Amino acid sequence: MRTLELHDGVVRMIDQRLLPGQLVYVEIRDYATVARSIQEMWVRGAPAIGAAGGFGLALAARASTAATSDAFLAEMDRVGQELYQTRPTAVNLGWAINRILNKAHASKLSVAGLRDLIVAEAQAIAAEDIITNEKMARYGASLINDGDTIIHHCNTGPLATVDVGTALGCIIQAHRDGKKIHVLVDETRPRLQGARLTAWELMQYGVPMTLIADNAAGHYLYRKLANKVFYGADRVASNGDVANKIGSYKLAVVAHENGVPVYSVMPTSTIDMALASGLDIPIEERGADEVTTIDGVRFAPVGVQVGNPAFDVTPHKYLTGIVTERGIVYPPFKENLLRIMDSAEG
């Protein structure tokens, strides 16, 4: 079961807004609807939206009527911009779009050749995502021991990627390896990715779990009822500061205070070496309705002022390790991230 795929000019993706109630695939035939699906979070999770962005560009390439290569490339640049603006924090979206456009610009091909190149590169990004996640899952699973109780934030499972997942991929791998583990699943307000998606995925895989309110994590950590924290990342700065789902920072600080290790898991495509620190990472602000309503039912007073940052930054001093497909990175993160980004895949 893939989160999303492209076949014969049709993007097929799970509409994650409907889970866990209904498992529905939607079919998308134009890039503008792909852009909408990313913005409205039919598809979400950093690697999944990177793959979706690539597929959006592929649909635009197939539909283009440009007569010259220059006109075609100018149109693809415009579409790339439009897709990239849908969600600003997860760098995988820009990474995927730039990877495809850079290859197209460097190729000097005809319009037909460029069209094939863009579709092939988008497919390659999606296929590589699965292999990358499998490698990460093995590295991350090596950090998990028999008897561990792990707090997990947001959704980082197969649904957040093309398949396999990032942090949750490591946890599922540890379970498959026969380790007796338990997962405390943060519900992850305001959109409840933990309660809706992570709980559903772990139940599919038979991983023992307990759903908790985000506010309960401190209780479990203080009482030594949890001994590891795992979450993903949407963008990592070159010093190791990690932007991830809102609430990750608070969780990491409380874990650190209680001597509990915190691991963030991401493909190297999530690491943005152009940024000096987490303060440079753009944080997406989403609509007020995500905070004032659940499933369309309003519980906050009409007219209340709302703040809804979708992500926060965990300063690197709170992280024990960063897990990538090239291996596990430990402090000092600045030096060691530089080394791993320059290295070949492990």
Local structure of residue 196 (DSSP, 8 states) = I
Provide φ and ψ at 46, rounded to 5°: -55, -55
Distance CA 64, CA 267 (A): 32
Residues from 237 through 256 that contact ligand MRU (CB under 6 A):
244-245
Least distance from C-beta 248 to ligand MRU, angstroms? 8
245 HSE (CA, 13 A, CB side): 26
Q: Write the CB contacts of 302 (distance below 8 Å, at least 6 apart in sequence).
A: none
Asked if 214 is part of the footprint of ligand MRU (rule: CB under 6 A), the reply reads no
Location of structure tokens 């080394």: 339
Nearer Cβ to ligand MRU (46/170): 46
Taking CB atoms, the residue at the shortest distance from ligand MRU is: 232
Compute CA 337 distance to the chain's CA centroid, rounded to the nearest angstrom: 19
What type of residue is 58? A
**Strand, helix or coil at 13?**
strand
Query: Which residues 79-118 are close enough to bind ligand MRU by CB under 6 A?
Result: 90
Q: x/- contact string, 150-179, with ligand MRU (CB under 6 A)?
A: ----x-x---xx----x-------------
Given candidates 233, 242, 254, 319, which one binds ligand MRU under the rule CB under 6 A? 233
Q: Which of 119, 236, 252, 310 binds ligand MRU (CB under 6 A)?
A: 310
Residue 44 binds to ligand MRU (criterion: CB under 6 A): yes
Between 79 and 192, name the residue whose CB sits nearer to ligand MRU: 192
Q: Using CB under 6 A, pick the residue from 28, 34, 38, 45 that binds ligand MRU.
A: 45
Using alpha carbons only, what angle is made at residue 263 by residues 261 and 266, rounded to the nearest 5 degrees? 175
Size of residue set near ligand MRU by CB under 6 A: 18
69 binds ligand MRU (CB under 6 A): no
Copy the structure tokens of residue 238: 């070159």
User: For residue 147, what are its two tokens?
Assistant: 């008897």
Report yes or no: 308 and 291 within 8 Å, Cβ to Cβ: yes
CB of 286 to ligand MRU, least distance (A): 8
Binding positions for ligand MRU, rule: CB under 6 A: 44-47, 90, 154, 156, 160-161, 166, 193, 231-234, 244-245, 310
